[in-house]
Structure 1
């Protein structure tokens, strides 16, 4: 090979890349958000995971733009919107729902992994909002209360110290499977819990599918969970078809989901039902367990907050306003989820920049929850922020906002209030290790699982 040909082979690909980048950055004079896309293919995903979303977001806002910056996460060019106005913009209908392919590879069947979120959840959004409305959830309060009592009696009573995070994960997992699918067998739940944990751990890990990596374990765990769900769904469908009194079986979410039809009168396939219900299970488990854990952490750290809590009957649960304000302040300071993702279906403009069609978009709790302009003295735990009208619109967004606000918000609220009620009416809480560190990756995690000393109330 001649020296000149060798040089040409090196330079030509670089020239092509430069032309493509220039075309992308200068298409029709387009001013795209500033930022960095990191390494080829990997982008900045590793930095995002290792530094944690809060630090990742704040560093890039300072360096590039306080309103919107570009990065590359999960193999996609992405605009990250910041501040209340950024949140408001993303919550509009100008952007459509989107999830990383890596997430879909873990959660859904392979043949659906490349489908859009809209295709995967075709008839679900309206259905979920309907069955998770406050009035529809009233019937589940006794079930939640009974399961919380059983959990506390079996896992908390008789112990001087408990590790809160693993216990809340197990409780919210059991409750989700009971509420959504009426799965109550302890051995069955224990087998599912192990695989479900692998699956959720792999959701937002570095997407490298190699043996031993969290992502690989997540994919394998997802395969097992989906297989178990198919068995449950198939059995339930058969029971409903054979039953002459099908209405008696239609008490949980799965039974109602089996009856849902699209605009053409077609029922969903068992795989489609699995794809949809697994999202409910994840939402009812991962973020809720984290929210409960950190609410109890702050109650243990702040006795004056603990002493203000109500001791109410369940007929009066809607009046547990102070307790919910405490939970909201915990969600503000330590949000269990980073935010969400969208996709630009057309070129859109924001804050003087243009986000090209096909780019992905992200909104994040970390650009407002600790912003002193949104929440004065932001590091102070102060439930009174949520009294009256509460925070300004689009500043407190643990459940998203706008027409796509999380439909499970009310379910989470009831689940959290019921659990906290059953804890604080039995025990006074103290942190076993006041110096325990918090690990911040995609979600916050107490390094030791939050060991708390529980002191039973004297009668």
Structure 2
């Protein structure tokens, strides 16, 4: 299975994107899932560095940390909250700031609601009839495209008249970027890229953060080990240092294992569709030209031959362990690897750092049933109380 999956994901001469037409209609024909290899390669090269480059990540840390600190304090005073719902709002606020420099609560809540509707439609039957999830999702996409088009128009107008006083954000980078021929991105490309990034950039981070927090709460020995690591990092800081640095985050070795184990066990991106461009022989079988192939990541992550006791949460399984190619695919693989994977892990690490040091999760329904669509989550969205730790006595 891993070898087959590896071939399907990495052989761009034999396979091309094979997502259902209905999915492409929702995510966008110019998004990464809807374009051929050469165009995907071009757009990925042009857009990934501003989101995943070291310089970009360094710039984002202070903002993410400030928002996490203030948000956790606010949650601790709110009483009962849907932990997942609030995390999704937090991660959406972060990605909106990175892409659009926007901090408008009203705009963010409106767009986040549209994304929720969109995601239900992505996993639903493509029935374009009023009342069905896919019909509602198409309307949500239309609303999102209109909102982003308005933002792009306004930004282009500001740049022509030099009226913009805001810092340069990802939208500016998308407008400015040129390929080797000097060609820029058109509005449809910019909007579909933004729509895709803003969706993936808050859904995966929010859900993974929730599950990592739940798993640590369920395993006190792992929680204490992760917390002790964060305490050591703070203790080692120079007296003049305020806040986290990229160096600090790179030293979170155990926390990185916690995040990887969460990504393995939950597998937020369950699968990818590919289509054979020619007859392809894999493991003694021939996949005819035009056939669609489904690479199912979760089946790999829960394979007991690869991961002993695969349904157990155990960060220590990553001690001195390097996953073989095709056996750990939380963000996809090959040329279609999610370009925002480092940013996602950065957000999760910063949140867990401050949560572990200062807060506890008090779930109100710890036995809540699990829902699997559009993403794996507790039925009650992790209804909980966030408790602030009491200051330790001198």
Under TM normalisation by the shorter chain, which class is it?
0.7 to 0.9
Q: 3-state SS of the aligned residue for 2:377?
A: strand
Structure 2: gaps spanning 5 or more residues: 235-243
Work out the CA distance in 2 between the residues paired with 1:113 and 1:133.
19
* Aligned equivalent of 1:194, options 102, 113, 120: 113
Equivalent residue number for residue 191 of structure 2: 274
Mapped partners of 1:382, 1:158: distance in 2: 32
Residues 1:306 and 2:238 are matched in the alignment:
no
Q: TM-score, normalised by structure 2?
A: 0.88
Mapping of 1:251-270 within 5 angstroms? 251-270=168-187
Does residue 337 of structure 1 match 2:279? no
Aligned length: 373
Which residue of the other structure, out of 360, 377, 387, is the alignment partner of 2:292?
360
Residue in 1 that maps onto 2:97: 178
2:241 maps to what in 1? none
State how far apart, in whole Å, the 1-side matches of 2:68 and 2:335 are: 32
Q: Which residue does the alignment assign to 1:104?
A: 24
Match of 1:59 in 2: none
Larger of the two Rg values belongs to structure = 1
Which one of 380, 392, 399 corresponds to residue 312 of structure 2?
Answer: 380
In structure 1, distance between residues paired with 2:363 and 2:266: 17
TM-score (norm 1): 0.76
Match of 2:185, SS state, is coil
> In 2, distance between residues paired with 1:133 and 1:388?
26
Equivalent residue number for residue 420 of structure 1: 352
Cα distance between partner residues in 2 of 1:237 and 1:361:
41
Q: CA deviation at 1:291?
A: 0.9
Which of structure 1's runs of 4+ aligned residues deviate more than 3 A?
Answer: 111-123
CA distance in 2, matches of 1:117, 1:151: 41
Alignment equivalent of 2:202, drawn from 285, 305, 309: 285
Shift of 1:128: 2.6
CA–CA distance in structure 2, aligned partners of residues 406 and 174 of structure 1 = 20
- The change in CA–CA distance for 1:253 and 1:113 in structure 2 (over 3 A counts) is closer
- Of 448-457 and 251-260, more deviation after overlay is shown by 448-457
Shift of 1:414: 0.3
Change (3 A) 1:113 1:277: closer
* Match of residue 5, structure 2, among 74, 87, 91: 87
Contact 2:88 2:206 (8 Å CA) reproduced: yes
Which of structures 1 and 2 has the larger relative contact order (alpha carbons within 8 angstroms, sep 6+)? 2
- Deviation, structure 1 residue 250: 6.0
Report the equivalent of 2:87. 168
In structure 1, C-alpha distance between the alignment counterparts of 2:361 and 2:35, rounded to whole Å: 45
Deviation at 1:288, TM superposition (A): 1.7
Q: 1:213 aligns with which of 118, 132, 157?
A: 132
DSSP-derived class of the 1:425 partner? helix
Task: State the 1:267 CA deviation.
Answer: 2.0
Which runs of 5 or more structure 1 residues have no equivalent in the other structure? 1-82
CA RMSD of aligned residues (A): 2.4
